[in-house]
Structure 1
Amino acid sequence: MTGAAVTGFATGFSLILAIGAQNAFVLRQGLLHQHVFWLCLFCAGSDALLITAGVAGFGALTEAIPALPVVMSIGGAIFLTAYGLSRLWAARRAHEGMNIAGRGHSLGRTLAIAAAFTWANPHVYLDTLGLIGAVSTQYEDWHLRLAFGIGAVIASFVFFFSLGYGARLLAPVMSAPRAWQVLDAIIGLVMLAIAAKLVLNLV
């Protein structure tokens, strides 16, 4: 079960690591020290709900549609390959430093913005319901699948709280364009590795 949990953690962490609007917003709020706990809890909790639905619901769907795991794995591998290559391509060019200027928001508005970044983002559903759900189907034993899902959920909590509370430590580093290039390169390689694993599981 430990191996499945570690795989779930690595998969979830790698997918969520990609810099996007949601992560940038959490980083900004962390730099401003505003509503960090509730924002991180909201983002991680939302991920937990979606990951649980993906891991649990995918099993029921595969019973009704046996070919679905293969289709999703192929689709996931294609998407991850394309996304990984795009991150590697992005690593070739410099990035502008993140703009953290501006006034903060109330707790209600902060969570409303986070909700929009989370629930209105189609990539969130692809990552949690689709990709994590698809990867979880490699575990036929429900104990292992549960461990995989728990690992992915823990990854979300670790990531968001680390990002929110560690933002001030990252600020001097991430202000350098080179740091963003390195991060993009790492994300790209991890995405390609996950895509390769999905394909190998089909062989």
Structure 2
Amino acid sequence: MEQAFLQGAVLGLGLIVAIGAQNVFVLKQGLLRQHVFWVALICTVCDIILMGAGVFGVGTLLSQSATLTRVLAFLGAAFVAYYGLRAWRSAWLGSSGMHLDGTAATVSLKRVVLITLAITLLNPHVYVDTLLLVGGIAATYEEQHKLGFWLGTSVASIVWFFSIAYGAVLLSPWLRSRLVWRVIDTLIGVFMMWIAWYLIQYGIASA
């Protein structure tokens, strides 16, 4: 259970931390101090629900076939290794980072909620990550360990979104630094390769 929780947390952070429209929006709302709690909560709840659907829906369905589970283990390893290599490439090139001006007109809570939902749910990439990738990796776990894996991914979402939302003012100088992002990308790559190695070992052992 503990290993599943840890691997879920690492995978969750690795997938979430990558700079995208959602993270930039959360940071901007934090800098502007506009409806910060609701933005972080919506992003977190959507992530938890989608990853739960991946772990207990897609993952459980896929795990009913031993052959398919082994195939998914190797495919999952390839996908996760790709994420890791991409993170290392970003670290080498120094291509991560963000530019935040922290200026914008005040927006109503209703509009912010709708924008947050749109940025979160209208992005096809989120479904690949939460349903297919997380669900596929969850399929390699025994039923009693899937809860721990899901809790790990959920804690990663909670920590990340609320940290960048409420720590935006403090974090923004760091997140503008290419050196900081090189360190972050390097660590993400290491952790993703660790998960990829676990999946390869699982696929070989279950063959």
Fold agreement, TM-score > 0.5: yes
What is the CA distance between 1:66 and its match in structure 2?
Answer: 4.1
What is the CA distance between 1:39 and its match in structure 2?
Answer: 0.5
Q: Which residue in 2 is equivalent to 1:4? A: 4
Whether the 8 Å CA contact 2:51–2:130 is kept in 1: the answer is yes
Whether the 8 Å CA contact 1:72–1:130 is kept in 2: the answer is no
Whether the 8 Å CA contact 1:18–1:187 is kept in 2: the answer is no
* TM-aligned CA distance change 1:100 to 1:196, over 3 Å: farther
Q: Counterpart of 1:7 in 2: which secondary structure?
A: helix
Q: Which residue in 1 is equivalent to 2:181? A: 180
* TM-aligned CA distance change 1:67 to 1:117, over 3 Å: farther
Whether the 8 Å CA contact 1:8–1:150 is kept in 2: the answer is yes
Q: Which deviates the most, 8-17 or 34-43?
A: 8-17
Q: Percent identity?
A: 42
Which amino acid in the other structure matches residue 194 of structure 1? I
Superposed, 1:22-37 pairs within 5 Å as 22-37=22-37
Whether the 8 Å CA contact 2:73–2:140 is kept in 1: the answer is no
Q: Which residue in 2 is equivalent to 1:127? A: 129
Which amino acid in the other structure matches residue 98 of structure 1? H
Q: Which residue in 1 is equivalent to 2:56? A: 56
What is the CA distance between 1:32 and its match in structure 2?
Answer: 1.4
Q: Which residue in 2 is equivalent to 1:168? A: 169
- Compute the TM-score of the two structures, normalised by the length of structure 2: 0.86
Q: Distance in 1 between matches of 2:82 and 2:147?
A: 29
Whether the 8 Å CA contact 1:88–1:185 is kept in 2: the answer is yes
* Superposition RMSD in Å: 2.0
Q: Which residue in 2 is equivalent to 1:86? A: 86
Superposed, 1:65-144 pairs within 5 Å as 65-95=65-95, 97-104=98-105, 105-140=107-142, 142-144=143-145
Any stretches of 5+ residues in structure 1 without a counterpart? none
Which amino acid in the other structure matches residue 202 of structure 1? G
Any stretches of 5+ residues in structure 2 without a counterpart? none
What is the CA distance between 1:97 and its match in structure 2?
Answer: 4.5
* TM-aligned CA distance change 1:180 to 1:15, over 3 Å: same
What is the CA distance between 1:187 and its match in structure 2?
Answer: 2.0
Q: Distance in 2 between matches of 1:75 and 1:188?
A: 17
What is the CA distance between 1:53 and its match in structure 2?
Answer: 0.6
Q: Which deviates the most, 153-162 or 94-103?
A: 94-103
Q: Which residue in 2 is equivalent to 1:198? A: 199
Deviations 1:184-203 (A, max 9, x none): 22222222222222112111
What is the CA distance between 1:80 and its match in structure 2?
Answer: 2.1
Deviations 1:130-166 (A, max 9, x none): 22222222322x3321122122112211211111111
Q: Distance in 2 between matches of 1:164 and 1:92?
A: 28
Q: Counterpart of 1:67 in 2: which secondary structure?
A: helix
Deviations 1:95-145 (A, max 9, x none): 5652234314322222222222221222211221122222222322x3321
Q: Counterpart of 2:163 in 1: which secondary structure?
A: helix
Which amino acid in the other structure matches residue 176 of structure 2? S
- Compute the TM-score of the two structures, normalised by the length of structure 1: 0.88
Deviations 1:34-85 (A, max 9, x none): 111001110000011111111111213432x443323332222222222222
Which amino acid in the other structure matches residue 18 of structure 2? A
The count of aligned residue pairs is: 201
Q: Which residue in 2 is equivalent to 1:13? A: 13
Q: Counterpart of 1:86 in 2: which secondary structure?
A: helix
Q: Distance in 2 between matches of 1:38 and 1:165?
A: 11
